[in-house]
Structure 1
Amino acid sequence: MATSADYAKLPSLQDDYALSAEQIASYQRNGHILLREVATQEEINAYEPVIADVVREHNYMTKPVAERDTYGKAFIQIGNLWKLNEGAERFVLARRFAKIAAELMGVEGVRIYHDQALFKEPGGGHTPWHQDQIYWPLDTPNTITLWMPLVPVSEEVGSMTFVDGSQAFGYVSRQEISDESHKTLGSFIEGKQLPKTNYGTMAAGDATFHAGWTLHSAPGNPTDTMREVMTIIYIADGVRIVEPDSNSRRNDMHGWFPGLGPGDLAASPLNPLVYKA
């Protein structure tokens, strides 16, 4: 069994990842970007077993994929791994990733909203069109998600598909991730003939970043290997919680901002400041 001393030997992930002005401008224009080798293969080799072990330990899904609803088929979902394991904590709170998030958004500092492992099983279903931020009781454009595969992702699985510039629309639909959201948002995208981007093949350690309002979906997993992905959601330091206007946002407020309410700074003990310029 791993000890604190073992986790202390994991790569530090504290050094900088250089972003160009054009990459930052591209993210701010499109609401998404792919960055190669945000973590090296050596770093992924060290962290993947740690994160995969936490997912296995906390995965309580017992139904076969075929018997689940659309959301259940999409992925095994485990949240706040950083509170479950010291190695995962080292990964999630990494300065390198947080600095990228802050620079892409153009803000001084970022806090963790929460993290999620999203493991799409062999035969797992598609992730319907949605906007992440319908779940978040935050009135700000300054939210961003890092999405990093811990294993190579083939062309047939691919990255997520993003709708270019869709973050500018803000709140498009209140529908949660479902067959209904896929249909409604799909009609919206087609009706406006909005351009889409899928980055295709990704190496372990590559990462996409996307804004909270960016429309996106993901294909199913027709392969016989698990698509292991780790996500980290960041919010700008100084953002305040707003009055939840749905049960989803109310649940998120209680779950990710314990002890806080509307008007409070989004800065509970679960939302540490991980980068400040």
Structure 2
Amino acid sequence: MSEIVQTLPNMQVDYVVSPEQVADFQRNGHILLKGIASAEEIAAYRPHIQQAVKELNVQSKPLSQRDTYGKAFIQVSNIWETHESVKKFVLAARFAKVAANLLGVENVRIYHDQALFKEPGGGHTPWHQDQIYWPLDTKDTVTLWMPLVDISEEVGSMTFVSGSHHKGYISKLEISDESHKNLAEYIEHHQLPQVSHGAMKAGDATFHYGWTLHSAPGNPTDQMREVMTIIYFADGARVLEPDSNARKNDLRRWLPGLKPGDKAASRLNPLV
């Protein structure tokens, strides 16, 4: 491990989640937890995440020439594989323990990380469920979504549909204009409650289940909305037979060498 990595914060101090917060999360499918990482910790890790995104980003088209998904954000995945400094952040025991506590499980594994940088003028993120992409046989999946900069009310957290995770697989539509239209109609027809947690400080984090319906507004500001996400799943989950091209692609990329029925524990899914 390099000297630079050794000097980065270890984030070993636990973040305590109350039984009431666990109950709220399991009932609603999402929660905002403030100060998961301190301002000093974010200041230490942010330059390393920024540098990794700069090195790994393959998006070169201007916003005006991209489709809806492309306008939503610059997306760089599994930075922990290639950058030791970011690996220390992604595999932090503090974050993993919060994820396990919220899910009510003993241990969790990493599915993958994603930096999601929404550019100034970037578009909205359409309604979707994350778990349509994941060939995992468990409902115990959760995403940590943490801004690396303070974000204002107008950019805000994602918007979640409370309780939607209890419905499981609602639609196989991948993130697109079609998913946004169809799921918006579904939400309206069933009069489902929508919640945004509003402005967030750097180091705050939302957590949401893989089946929780969510979307995000565009970025009307002149500041990049820098967000780091980490996806966790309960240890012991097994690989599902992929029922879509999206899940076939995820099986190859995030669960390499595994086949349906295997324990989801490839070299890319460390126990944290």
Computed over aligned residues only, the root mean square deviation of the Cα atoms, in angstroms, reads 0.7
Q: Distance in 2 between matches of 1:13 and 1:250?
A: 35
Q: Does 1:45 align with 2:51?
A: no
Match for residue 117 of structure 1? 115
Shift of residue 238, structure 1, vs aligned partner: 0.3
Alpha-carbon distance in structure 2 between the residues aligned to 1:100 and 1:177:
27
Alignment of 1:88-237 (within 5 A): 88-237=86-235
1:115-161 CA distances to partner (integer Å, 9 max, x unpaired)?
00000001100000000000000121100000000001111101000
- Which has the larger displacement, 211-220 or 57-66? 57-66
Question: Aligned to 1:77, which of 75, 78, 81?
Answer: 75
Aligned position for 1:12: 10
In structure 1, how many angstroms separate the alpha carbons of the residues matched to 2:181 and 2:251?
A: 28
CA distance in 1, matches of 2:44, 2:270: 24
1:264 aligns with 2:265: no
Give, in whole Å, the separation in 1 of the partners of 2:194 and 2:149. 24
* Alignment deviations for residues 154-200 of structure 1 (CA, whole Å, 9 cap, x no partner): 11101000000000000000000000000000000000000011011
In 1, Cα distance between equivalents of 2:58 and 2:105: 38
- Encode CA deviations 1:216-271: one digit per residue, 9 max, x unaligned: 00000011110000000000000000100000000000000110010000000100
Amino acid corresponding to residue 75 of structure 1 in structure 2: F
CA distance, structure 2, for counterparts of residue 245 and residue 111 of structure 1? 23
C-alpha deviation, 1:59, in angstroms: 1.0
Alignment partners' CA distance in 2, 1:7 and 1:63: 33
Following superposition, the deviation at residue 13 of structure 1 comes to 1.2
Unmatched 5+ residue regions in structure 2? none
Q: Counterpart of 1:87? A: 85
CA distance in 2, matches of 1:161, 1:184: 16
Q: Give SS of 1:181's match.
A: helix
Report how far residue 37 of structure 1 moved. Answer: 0.3
Distance 1:144 1:68 in 2: 29
Distance 1:79 1:14 in 2: 24
Give 1:72 deviation, angstroms. 0.3
Q: How do residues 31-42 of structure 1 correspond to structure 2 at under 5 angstroms?
A: 31-42=29-40
TM-score normalized by the length of structure 2: 0.99
Size of the aligned set, in residue pairs, is 272
> Quick one: distance in 2 between partners of 1:188 and 1:74?
22
Alpha-carbon separation, structure 2, partners of 1:207 and 1:86: 22
Query: What percent of counterpart residues are identical?
Result: 68
Q: Which amino acid aligns with 2:96?
A: A
In structure 1, runs of 5+ residues without a counterpart are none
Letter of the 2:229 counterpart:
T
C-alpha displacement of 1:66: 1.1
Q: How far apart are the structure 2 equivalents of 1:137 and 1:60?
A: 26
How many Å separate the matches in 2 of 1:240 and 1:112? 14
Moved over 3 A (4+): none
1:15, distance to aligned residue in structure 2 (A):
1.7
